[in-house]
Chains A and B, each alone.
Chain A
Amino acid sequence: MRPPSLLSLTLDSALLHIAHIADLSHLPDHLVIDLFRRTLSAGKLTEKVLKLFLATGCEEIILAVQLLNIKQPIVPVLPTRCSESEVDIVIAALQPNLTTFFEAWRPFFSRFHIIVVKDPDMAENLQIPTGFDLKVYTKSDINGVLGASSINFSGHSCRYFGYLVSRKKYVISIDDNCLPVKDTAGSTVDVVAQHMANLKTPATPFFFNTLYDPYRKGVDFVRGYPFSLREGVECMLSCGLWMHNADYDPMTHVVKRNQRNTTYVDAVMTVPLGAMLPVSGINVAFNRDVLGPAMFPGLRLQNEGKHRWDTLEDIWNGLCAKVVCDSLGYGVKTGLPYVMRSDAEAGKALESLKDWEGVKVMDDVLPFFQSLKLSRTAVTVDDCVKGASWNCT
């Protein structure tokens, strides 16, 4: 048998690195075609790689794509880092028609079990497209499971019921008015893959790395970062962000009604030990096995409505979670992934302002959490939450 030619070896090598090649247009057509064929055989065709081949303008490839009926967006062929058995996706349904939502998220959600919790205050039936492994929980389920409980699961808080009934290690939660967004390279962001990457790589809360998450590709710890702190700690909470309609309070919505978030910040970072942050429930993921007991709706505003700006439940929850993580040596990350959040009617923000208590609440809440010291004997999340609640009263 003849040994492989130098050309063949080169193409194999290119195939190995296909995800990192930026431009193929300098290659002659017959080589581009050969490389495309090898890419298909190896199962390495992703959205980004397909774009790379199409950009060469090679007619044969364009024809092949049409004949093979290759469509964008494509479900990634490469296995992502997580398995279906580990992840539940929890969606709070505050609007009845979820067709657009689920169709848009289908390429990323279809592998996973989805828990949809219907706002107990909502009368209409949910419209959800088929083809998902999905279970809907309604008001009767909530009452059936919990009976009379002091926890109010109406509105955005209904998602916490989903966290309660989930049996998976990780939970990812996204608001029902958010859709996938494209990154600066034009590829659609796989929110699941990014949250899982955040949760499965260590966090670094003890010292700030100026190049942000050192576990991302192409970057590392910088000079001056102590070596003993480079192992990091387990990340329990991943806080994502939002393009377009950012998560502002109602006052900011009214004052800056035309402002939209158009800056895609390509970074993930650990929120340092002792630093508090406002966690937004719009786009969040966490390790349910460990942090689950801390993920509950504690703070309910008196006139809590159905808009995100009417709530602070997630902010309270995030502060609890951060104090617990700091106390037990776990990490919290913030930054990527982004989702595209659609506009809410800005006029409604003005209405909400009338009875809004939000101006003063955080001024009392934050100092409480900043001064909260949990007992050294609280070594589990359970104990920590109980300890925090004692301090509350």
Chain B
Amino acid sequence: MNLNFTLSEQNFAAARQVIGEEIDYCVPADLSLDGRRVEGYLAIGSGRWAHVRDGQVRDHGNIADACDYHLVPFVGNAVLEATENGTKRIIVRVTMQHASRYGYIAQILNDMAANRPVRIYRDEGDPVCAACGSALVPGTRVCPRCMSKAAAFKRLLLTSKRHWRSLMLGLGVLIAASALAMAGPYFQKLLVNAALLPPSGQEASVRVFWLALLGMLFTMAFGELLGIARNRIMASVSTGIAADLRKTVFDRIQSMSLGFLTSQRAGDLMNRVTADTDRIRHLIQEMCTTAIHQLLILIASATLLFSADWRLALIVLLPAPFVGYLHYYIWRHVLNRLFHKQWRISDKANSFLHDVLSGIRVVKAFGQEEREIRRFRTYNGEFAAAALKSEKLYSILSPISNYLIQIGQYLVLLIGCYMIIGREMNVGELIQFSAYAAMIFGPISWLMFMPRWIANAVISMHRVFSVIDEQPEVMDANNAVGHRIRGLIEFRDVFFGYRSYEPVLKEINLTVKPGEMIGLVGHSGSGKSTTINLISRFYDVNEGEIRIDGIDIRKIRQEDLRSQIGVVLQETFLFSGTIAENIQYSKPGAKPEEVIEAAKIANAHDFIISLPDGYDTRLEENGNNLSGGERQRIAIARAVLNDPRILILDEATASLDIETEESIQEALRRVTKNRTTIAIAHRLSTLRNADRLIVLDKGRIAEIGTHRELMKKQGIYYNLISAQRGMSRKSDPSAVV
């Protein structure tokens, strides 16, 4: 991130008066307090800061005079605040474009104010494109320079390399089919001139008549056959390429870090795997069949027209682009907009329907049926009106635009007939000519639409390639090793933040002995879940290291590491499939007895065996046909099946009632025996079996000790316990820790 912008001469001169020659950091402060976008800067150097704008110092101060510099994100803007003489003040205001810089700047100012070494270095660059080095579109991973249509096509061709033989074959067939299509009008001419209406002085020839008829039949039949072959070859090529792309995208998504995946919406990623690759398939198919075919027809028919009669050809061709454009214009600006509006209204009505039908219980519970009926009536009416309007207009405009396309034909007939009367042309030639002329309009109007669908397909290509190009943030080191975990976990001076300017964990030092059970305690946002995410290496630490059995986890192969860590989360996710398959998920190919053992340990065996279909019970979407407790027990069975040496329980029993929790606790006691276990629980009674409790507060370890020790200490843990006891007494006098 660039934290050292260059000041204009005026601003530099102003800043120099306050902070001297050396400016260490300089970032834009591009919003005034009265809400105008301005070209201001915050310059920092020699223990002072200055806010400069238009060659004037607007504000300045000694860094050490204030403390607690921090970024306060507002709505659509942010301010840098600090505490000076015990009161807070705004130092500068910025748009969101530069807000993240101020996260770093605040940290720098705090370090400078406290006379600590500054841990951020200003030369971290802004995100740039890995390929060409230019700046990315802010907030995206898109490089406008590298995203050219030609480059996208080139990559697509490279991806299609495996299929080039079939592609070439398809193209060959396509060219043959086009050539054959051009022969049709020639036979028509032959038929008319030689047999039906021979020019004066010539006899009608039956032989030529049959030959021409045969020729026409042959071009038609063989043309159709070639068409079938072309479509089949191209369909197989395009689906093959799309399948390759889908596979590559899916493989890539699987290798992405959790950080990237959580920043994307599942629906969006799904679209890239399915809809976008399908659009590319469609593009290849269209490009290799229709587009090339149309182009060939255009070139060939134009050539033939000119060779037949250049004057007539000119008359046909001159209005063609104009007519084609008019056709395109009517579609693009009138009909397309009309349909767009209709889709929008239909979309609104559809999402209303979806809403009401999925929330029908709420509608009924509040007795709002009448209101919903009224709302639907409105949407329905709007949709009907829009549909009627566009259909009405379409019914008029569509014939007009088609008529315009045919107008060239009309001109040919007009002039052709005139030429026949003047004996400059015969009927056969006119028929051949008008057939070629008819051929030329199709490709022209089709080509007008081409840029639009190519643009859409290119967007899809970029969306697909942007996933393929995404570099996983968490990568295996070159010298990563496989390691059989014993269970010693050490955190050494660990600092971590999802954004490096906003540390979530600070200075974490912790050793967990093999087989020990640790309870992580703290308020929401104190860093508990982040700690366990780091153990699974879903993210890499910013500073310090995490070791397992003395080996830095960055040197253990990720797959190896995670397969030995069992995780049970609050929100259990079960895949569609049988109960047995779900338990086997952590160890594919596990034997039935292992599955039953795991279920037994997890206290799940008894309920599974009572189900009519036992372990073969097919789970509905996310196991909705089971209760929360049952799902959780299956998740525990899944976690223990692989005999993990480290077990992570993230609020594993939080959403269960007390009785179910008891039974699961009992299962967990068996599971956690002899395994290093890290458990998070808000309900502190869940952690009563923990060997030690770690209390996290604002990202730091605040207290460590057993339940007894921490109660004695009367610190954060004591307060949490007291608060929960108070709550339980209020709700249920018997339920105390």
Q: Decide whether A and B are members of one complex.
A: no
**Interface set of B (CB-CB < 8 Å, partner A):** none
